[in-house]
């Protein structure tokens, strides 16, 4: 099955180039060419999109702002002429980052990476109502019981699932993808790199969650109010 793509760039030449690269790549399908984020959002309300090739520097609504506010399941490969955005692109869980001028070799490398990430995501099976889900790990489908999870850690393109009394499990997927698989009443994102099992929290101290007296999970400022609400709600 082909990966359905949108090319989004306010520069006509750059947009034409990315669209041409998509057409040239056998496992990609070009669904639309957009001059701004608003055109892309309109298409995405009508058609399921798997992958965005998204320019960061656009007027009115930048690619980075679109990514942060979208809440969409599509993967994102950022394109830009400015290398200083590289770190921030990975902070918002972009699949890859392409620096203009973009060669087809670099484009194809990023597209193959996206294919691997999206295929792993598609093959993940979840049964939250049954208390477990499956992830790909070391070429096998590994069952993960929700009750076993202490916390989940993001490691660039991978996640490491830490479990009580069992070895951790590594899987090629984004933290945002596994977050969607978890019941919100039992798990909480507390940092861009961590999700915790709320039932396993024993100690919160100075902006950190402590597991087993030796593992310290930082709580980002943007998540502190949610965590505080959970803690106070369970004191009633």
Residues whose CB falls within 8 Å of the CB of residue 123, separated by 6 or more in sequence, listed in order: 136, 141
Of residues 140, 127, 190, 137, the one with CA closest to residue 159: 137
Total tally of structural domains belonging to the chain:
2
Report the distance separating Cα 22 and Cα 138, nearest Å: 30
Which range marks the domain in which residue 173 is found?
Answer: 125-233
Last residue of a domain, one of 122, 141, 171: 122
| Final residue in a domain of this structure, among 67, 97, 122 | 122
Q: Give per-residue pLDDT as tens, 55-73.
A: 887 777 666 667 766 555 6
Same domain, 136 and 174: yes
What SS3 state is found at 38?
Answer: helix
pTM over 0.75: no
Confidence of residue 41 (pLDDT cuts 50, 70, 90): confident
Same domain, 204 and 107: no
Query: Does residue 43 contact residue 34 with C-beta atoms inside 8 Å?
Result: yes
Q: What tens digit of pLDDT does each residue of 74-96 get? A: 788 988 876 655 445 445 567 88
Tell me: the pLDDT tens digits for 183-201?
Answer: 877 888 899 899 999 888 8
The CATH number assigned to the domain holding 28 equals 3.40.50.2300
């Amino acid at each position: 099955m082909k990966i359905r793509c949108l090319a989004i760039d306010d520069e006509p030449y750059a947009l034409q180039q990315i669209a041409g690269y998509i057409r040239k790549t056998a496992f990609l399908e070009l669904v639309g060419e957009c001059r701004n984020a608003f055109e892309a959002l309109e298409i995405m309300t009508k058609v399921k999109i798997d992958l965005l090739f998204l320019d960061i520097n656009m007027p009115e609504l930048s690619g980075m702002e679109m990514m942060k506010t979208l809440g969409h399941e599509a993967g994102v490969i950022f394109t830009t002429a400015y290398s200083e955005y590289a770190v921030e692109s990975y902070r918002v869980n972009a699949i890859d980052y392409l620096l203009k001028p973009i060669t087809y070799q670099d484009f194809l490398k990023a597209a193959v990476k996206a294919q691997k990430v999206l295929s792993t995501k598609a093959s993940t099976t979840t049964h939250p109502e049954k208390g477990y889900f499956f992830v790909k790990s070391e070429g096998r489908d590994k069952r993960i019981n929700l009750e076993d999870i202490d916390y989940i850690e993001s490691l660039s393109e991978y996640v490491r699932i830490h479990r009580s009394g069992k070895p951790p499990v590594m899987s090629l997927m984004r933290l945002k993808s596994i977050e969607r698989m978890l019941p919100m009443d039992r798990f909480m994102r507390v940092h861009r790199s961590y999700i915790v099992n709320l039932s396993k929290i024993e100690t919160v101290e100075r902006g950190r969650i402590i597991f087993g007296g030796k593992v310290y999970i930082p709580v980002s400022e943007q998540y502190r109010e949610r965590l505080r609400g959970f803690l106070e709600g369970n004191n009633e």
